[in-house]
């Protein structure tokens, strides 16, 4: 599962068609706990999710907040890609 706070990266990745077996979630605020049920349904147990974002201070803060929310509510590991 890919988590992205901007659509540009997903537009680039999907330019040739969506990859099979990959879910993508776009949200301006990925740490919103209301997303947890959706993320749980898209990410099988034991599989990590990948955050695709910028390495600027805002992007890093978004990643850290999303990682904390997922670890606390769902136990999903979040990687930075």
Segment 23-32 shows an average pLDDT of 90
Q: Is this model's pTM higher than 0.85 or not?
A: no
Residue 60 has pLDDT above 90, yes or no: yes
> Three-state secondary structure along 18-79?
CCCCCCEEECCCCCCHHHHHHHHHHCCCCCCEEECCCCCHHHHHHHHHHHHHHHHHCCCCEE
Q: What residue segments make up the domains of the chain, in order of their start? A: 2-80
- Give percent above pLDDT 90 in the chain: 26
């Amino acid at each position: 599962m890919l988590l992205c706070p901007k659509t540009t990266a997903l537009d680039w990745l999907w330019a040739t068609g969506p990859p099979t077996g990959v879910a993508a979630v776009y949200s301006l605020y990925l740490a919103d706990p209301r997303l947890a049920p959706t993320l749980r349904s898209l990410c099988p147990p034991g599989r990590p999710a990948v955050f695709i974002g910028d390495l600027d201070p805002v992007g890093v803060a978004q990643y850290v907040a999303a990682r904390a929310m997922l670890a606390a509510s769902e136990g999903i590991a979040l990687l930075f890609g």
